[in-house]
Amino acid sequence: MAYTYLALGDSYTIGEQVPLYESFPYQTVQLLRGAAVTGDPVPGIEVNAPEIIAKTGWTTDELAAAIRENRFLPRYDFVSLLIGVNNQYRERSVENYEIEFQQLLQTAIRQAGGQPGRVFVLSIPDWGVMPFAEGRDRNRIASAINAYNTSCKKITETHHCNFTDITASQRADGNQAAYLATDGLHPSGKEYAKWALQLSKTIRNSL
């Protein structure tokens, strides 16, 4: 029987500006289906196409509202969650994010059949390194993203879920054309491939 995967998030989850199959959830599924992830001799597994609940611009409360309006399977074998960049962009407080993110994480755990080890949180990318942020205070943005990610990681680990840091890699690639979508704000499929490789390895280790 095929594994099921629910991906929750915002523009980074749907892969804004790139074809759907280049989004990190779809690339993750392709890696899991493959004969083996690079450097890992584990055989491929059968995984359904990801079910994605995400939209460009969503904040934590907007994602929560969308979840309440959706019908889901009774449970999913794994659930990913990447949310918070729009909270920071709108200059909402980290304290508000912590409350709403924790609620979303608890929802994700329920969707994973009450198994926190089947929930996979990705860190929030730093949009301040992208060309889109030209003329803005990049150091201030970075500091705010760091604060968000510190809270994100702490809450994730407190709930015994999996945390994957993609921010360091994304920051390193932020000004390289090959890793950028045409809008100068979102990643390209090549950047999402790096996230998918990390995530697929973490998922395999949980099975």
Q: What is the pTM of this model?
A: 0.94
Give yes or no for residue 107 having a pLDDT over 50: yes
Q: How far apart are CA 26 and CA 30, in angstroms?
A: 6
| Token pair belonging to 10 | 């915002």
Distances (CA, A) of 189 to 24, 120, 180, 182, 186: 8, 20, 8, 11, 10
Q: Which helix (H) or strand (E) holds 6?
A: strand 5-9
Confidence of residue 207 (pLDDT cuts 50, 70, 90): confident
Distances (CA, A) of 85 to 12, 32, 90, 178: 9, 27, 9, 22
122 CB burial (10 A radius; 0-12, 13-18, 19+): buried
91 CB burial (10 A radius; 0-12, 13-18, 19+): exposed
> What are the tens digits of pLDDT across the range 19-72?
999 999 999 999 999 854 455 555 789 999 999 999 999 999 999 999 999 999
DSSP string for 78-141: EEEEE--HHHHHTT--HHHHHHHHHHHHHHHHHHTTT-GGGEEEEPPP-GGGSGGGTTS-HHHH
Class of CATH domain 5-206: alpha beta
Select from 170, 135, 174 the least CA-distant residue to 149: 170
Q: In the structure, how many helices (H) and strands (E) does the chain have?
A: 8, 5
Select from 115, 109, 141 the least CA-distant residue to 128: 141
Q: What is residue 175's predicted lDDT score, i.e. its pLDDT?
A: 86
> What are the tens digits of pLDDT across the range 144-201?
999 999 999 999 999 999 999 999 999 999 889 999 999 999 999 999 999 999 999 9
Q: How far apart are CA 80 and CA 57, in angstroms?
A: 18
Q: How far apart are CA 78 and CA 112, in angstroms?
A: 6
